[in-house]
Structure 1
Amino acid sequence: MRTLEQWFEEYAVSHQNPKNKAIHYICVPAIYFSIVGLLMSIPSGIIANTLQLNVPIIENWAVVVLLFVLVFYVRLSIAMAFKIAIFSAICLIINYYIAQVAPLWIVSIAIFAVAWIGQFYGHNIEGKKPSFLKDIQFLMIGPAWVLDNLFSRK
């Protein structure tokens, strides 16, 4: 199994151009955020009825999926899993409030589409294919790489 640093080194190969990196710093978190919003948009009756939950922010598919996402990160780094957990909680909270004023699924699809257009534009500038075309796990490495680059003390 590769270490988090090995994943980052391989991911960084196709993210050298400063413009592409800047685009990724915006678009990768936006994609993550929009996926959380899309998951929150799925009716959650099964979860609520099965687990008998009455806490609106917890009784949705996003929380269930994010628990599995955190398992992926824990296997790589406890510290990174903690950072992803904080970012995930922020995404859940903001999406919860967006859902109070607008159809969350529409907002999420719009953010998702614009962010992916940005990603592909960034890779066009870079002149290299997105890493996830080589290994789908890079879709999970991207958010960690962005957090590491934005908030590390390097």
Structure 2
Amino acid sequence: MSRDATDRSIDHWFASYSSDHRNATNQLIHVFAVPLILWSVIALLWCIPVPGTLFGPGAWAALIMFMTWSFYYRHSRTLGMGMLLFFVLFSWATRWLHMELGTAGLLKLAIGVFVVAWIAQFVGHKIEGRKPSFLTDLTYLLIGPIWVLNKLYRKLGWKY
């Protein structure tokens, strides 16, 4: 039995998330801040030591990225594949930064980016006059990145 595209749960998530993000300035802030937050979380996870010698730095980040990617792919194969590309790019960048800065340097950078990006998010929501979506449901922390990716897809004329 096929479902109408408007019946997909991702559409419901996007509609609800979009209702908290109507202001153009807030949307623009999110386009930059959400990917920075996503990268900083990956980098923070990268810094968590891995016990034993079987896995190296980044193992926790890889595990969480895989679980997150599975969520995205389950809701939209097209968006899932786009997020896979971003996860790969973020992983390469994080690995390079880890090699250049070491764990302590990467940790400091990730914390700084995380704090600044979240401040930007809250400024955007102050402008919007609405609280962030994740305060009503933590799942919106996962929706933000694919909502931003979906904005890119729409701009390129791609369907999700």
Q: Give your verdict on TM over 0.5.
A: yes
**1:16 and 2:22 aligned:** yes
Match of 1:7 in 2: 13
The count of corresponding residues between Structure 1 and Structure 2 is 147
Residues of 2 paired with 1:45 and 1:87: CA distance?
27
**1:27 and 2:33 aligned:** yes
Q: Deviations over 1:65-85 (max 9, x none)?
A: 111111211221111111111
**1:125 and 2:127 aligned:** yes
Q: Percent identity?
A: 35
Q: Give how far 1:45 is off.
A: 3.1
Q: Which has the higher contact order (CA 8 A, sep 6+)?
A: 1
TM-score by length of 2: 0.86
**1:109 and 2:111 aligned:** yes
**1:65 and 2:64 aligned:** yes
Residues of 2 paired with 1:116 and 1:101: CA distance?
25
Unaligned runs of 5+ in 2: 1-6
Residues of 2 paired with 1:65 and 1:18: CA distance?
31
Q: Give how far 1:150 is off.
A: 1.9
TM-score by length of 1: 0.89
Q: Deviations over 1:89-138 (max 9, x none)?
A: 11111111111222111110000000000000000000000000111100
Match of 1:38 in 2: 44
Match of 1:87 in 2: 86
Report the residue type matching 2:47 in the other structure. Answer: S
Match of 1:149 in 2: 151
